[in-house]
A and B are shown apart, each in its own frame.
Chain A
C-alpha cells in the first residue's frame, strides 16, 4: 500500500468511542486525500439540512498521499465540514505539520462526529487514541492551549486547537495549527467548539511507503530546482512574505478599501510587505518541508507573533482605513490568539462601519476592543459574530455585506481582475481567492499574463484554475508551489510515490470531479444559480479612479460562458452527461458510487 495508509479514524464524541474504517483503494485513487476525500466523506455521511453546529455535523481532518515523502510543502492539513458561516460544504487548508503527523499515526483522515458532554481534547498516536478532559483549557487562548497540548503530546507532536471564539460559536472562528498557522476560513473553529473539542494532538512515526523511491527522488529534485529558479517562490515570498502583494495590487488599482468603496488605499505604502520587512519583522519561518518559507515572525512594542499576512493586512488595515502597521499587527495577533478568521473579522467590521454601527478603527484600542467583543460575543460583538451577511440582513441593508454565499471577500477588487470576480461568484465555499488563483495570470503573469480587464474567455481559465486548486487541496500541497510547478510535476511525483499511474490530465479530471461533487452537495442544500453572484457594488458601481477607472464586473455574460463550459444547465446543475463522464452518475441521482 504505497502512498496511502488506507485507514480512517472515526471518533464519536457523544459516546466517546473510536473506530478504524478502511479506506478502499479505489476511493483513495479517485479522491486522493485532503479536500477530495473530505468532500467524498461529507457527501455520503451528512444528511441534507443538518445544523452545522449540531452533533450531526462531521469534521474531517485529512492528509494527502504525498505527506511523509520528500515532496515540498506537503506536511499541511485539510479540514472539511459543513460551514456554520456559509451552509456550504467547506474545506480549509493550513500549513504547519499536522497533516504529516496525523499520517504518521497511520491514518489518512480523522473524522470527528457527535458532541462531548464536557470539554475534551483528542490525543492520537499509532495504535493509541484517547480523549482527555479539557475543562481546564476551556477559555484559554490558542497560545496557552497550544503550549499545554504540545507539552502533553511531547517532542515531535503537532497540535490543532481553538480559542474562545470557537468556544463561543463565532461563525467565523478559526482553528490554530502548530501555534503559527490557521485553518482560517468558514468557521471550523465554531464546529470544534460546538462539539466540545478544544484540540487535537498527533504524534507518530509510521513512514509513508514509496513505490519508486529513486524515481520520486528525481522528481522531487526537479521540483526543488524549479522552485529555486522562480523569483516568486525563491525571492518575493521568502523576502517579503505574502505581503509582497500589497503594493502590487494597490498600484494596479485592485486593492479594495473602505468596504470596497475604493479600489486603492492611500496608506498602502506604510503597511506594505516592504514596510513590514523594514520594521516589525523578526525572522522568517517555513512550514514542514517547505523550501519557500513565506512565514513571518514579527514584534511590536507590546506583543509578538506570526504575521500579519497579506490578507490580514488588508482586512484589518485598508478595509478599515487603518494605516498603522503596529495596530494591524496587534489586531492580527489578537485574532490569532482568540481564534478568529482575520478576513471575515475585517470584512464584518467594515460592513458594521458602513451600517453606522462602528467607526474610527484607527483610534488606539478601538479595533482590539471590538475583536475581543466578537470573540466573547459581548455587546455589539454578539451581532458581529454572526458575520457580515447576517449582520447586514438584520439591519435591512444586505447589499452592504461584501460577501459571496456568506463568506467575506478577500483582498482583491474583482473590478480590476474580472476572472477573479467570476472565481468569487462560482466558488463552492463562497467568496474566496484560493478556489481559483486568478492572481497568477491577471496580475503576476504566471503562467502567462492575460488582460485583467477583459471578461471574454475568462471562464475556461477560471475553470482550469479551480481544478488545479482542488487537486492541490486534495494532494494537500501548498498552492504557492504552483507559482512555479505544474500538473506534470505533481502527476509524476504522485505516480512514483503511489505506484499508480496519474497523467497530468488525470489530475485535472480529479479536480473537476471534486468540484462537481462539491456543487452537488451545495445543490442538495438548496443553493442555486442566484447564489453564484457578487455584491451589487461590484457589478454596478464603476471604479471611480486609478487604472481601473470605470470598470465593473460583467458577471452575467461570464457566468453564462462558465456554465456552458462546465456543461451545467442554465440553473447551474451538472448535466447527466457531465456526471457520467466524471463517474458521478449514481452520486448525482442520490445513489452511492466511488
Chain B
C-alpha cells in the first residue's frame, strides 16, 4: 500500500457509519499534484489502485478515474493551505443541516475542537462548481463545513486530522439531535458559550 493512511481513514469512516458502502472521498495534496480516491471506490477496502494521481491546477488523464468531487477538493487546495481533505456523509450532521444554518456543539469535545460549523446550501450538491465556490472560502476560516442535505468537507495537514474534525462533528451532532428530541433547555456548564456563534 503506497499510502496507508488512506486505507486506515477510509476503513474507519465506513466502520463509524459516516459513509455508505461507496460514499465519501479522501485526498491529499503533494505540491501541484493531488492524490484522491477513485470514483466509486469502497473506502473501507482501498487498495493501491484506488489512489488516483492528478493535477491540482491542470487536468490530465488521471481525472477520468478520480472522485467526482475532485472539483471541490481542487478548489479547497487552491484557496487554503490544507494538505488533506475528507468528505463524508455523516447522518446527524446532514439531518441537522436541513434545519439550521450553523451547527453549534453543546458537548465538551465539539465545543473545544469546533466551536461552530457553518452550513452552506447549493442546488447542485455533488461535484459542482457551485459547491466548490461555497465550500472552499469557508474552509479558509473553519476546519469543517457541511453542505446542506449532502455531507461534510473537512481539512487538515494530514488525513487523520481532517478525519478527526469529521468524527467530532458527527459526535456533536448526535448529541445536538438528542437534545432537540428531548426538547428541554440544557443546563449550561460552559463559560462564554453564548459567544460560540461568533467563532
Contacts and interface: CB of A to CB of B under 8 A. Distances in A.
Task: Tell me, yes or no, whether A binds B.
Answer: yes
Interface of A: 215, 218, 221-222, 225-226, 229, 441, 447-448, 450, 457, 459-461, 464, 467, 488, 491-492, 503-506, 508, 561, 564-565, 567
A441 B84 CA distance: 15
Nearest to A465: B157
A561 B31 contact: yes
Nearest to B138: A503
A448 B158 contact: yes
B98 interface: no
A215 B30 contact: no
A483 to B, nearest CB: 15
Interface in B72-97: 79-81, 83
Given A448-B158, A506-B140, A467 B81 contact: yes
A215 B30 CA distance: 37
Nearest to B31: A565
A459 B31 CA distance: 8
Nearest to A491: B141
B195 A448 contact: no
B143 A488 contact: yes
Given A215-B198, A492-B199, A505-B141, A464 B81 contact: yes
Nearest to A502: B141
Interface string B24-35: 000011111000
B26 to A, nearest CB: 15
A460 B30 contact: yes
A222 B199 CA distance: 10
B32 A564 contact: yes
B184 interface: no
A561 B199 CA distance: 36
Contacts of A226: 112
Given A221-B191, A448-B161, A505 B79 contact: yes
Given A447-B161, A464-B83, A505-B141, A457 B30 contact: yes
A504 B31 contact: no
Nearest to A467: B81
A564 B57 CA distance: 13
Given A506-B140, A508-B81, 6 more contacts: A448-B157, A448-B158, A460-B157, A488-B141, A504-B141, A565-B30
A441 B115 CA distance: 24
Contacts of A564: 31-32
B160 interface: yes
Contacts of B156: 447-448
Given A226-B112, A461-B83, A218 B140 contact: no
B104 to A, nearest CB: 14
B140 A450 contact: no
B157 A229 contact: no
24 contacts: A215-B198, A218-B192, A222-B192, A225-B112, A441-B158, A447-B158, A448-B156, A457-B28, A457-B30, A459-B31, A460-B83, A461-B83, A464-B81, A467-B81, A488-B142, A492-B199, A504-B141, A505-B80, A505-B139, A505-B141, A508-B80, A508-B81, A565-B32, A567-B32
Contacts of A561: 30-31
Given A488-B143, A505-B141, A461 B157 contact: yes
Nearest to B83: A460
Nearest to A564: B31
Contact of A450 (B32, B158, B192): B158
A228 to B, nearest CB: 11
A503 B161 CA distance: 19
A460 to B, nearest CB: 5
A218 B31 contact: no
Nearest to A501: B141
A523 B49 CA distance: 42
B142 to A, nearest CB: 8
Nearest to A562: B31
Sorted nearest first, the 3 A-B pairs with minimum C-beta distance are A505-B140, A565-B31, A508-B81
A508 B83 CA distance: 13
A447 B198 contact: no
Contacts of B80: 505, 508
B159 to A, nearest CB: 9
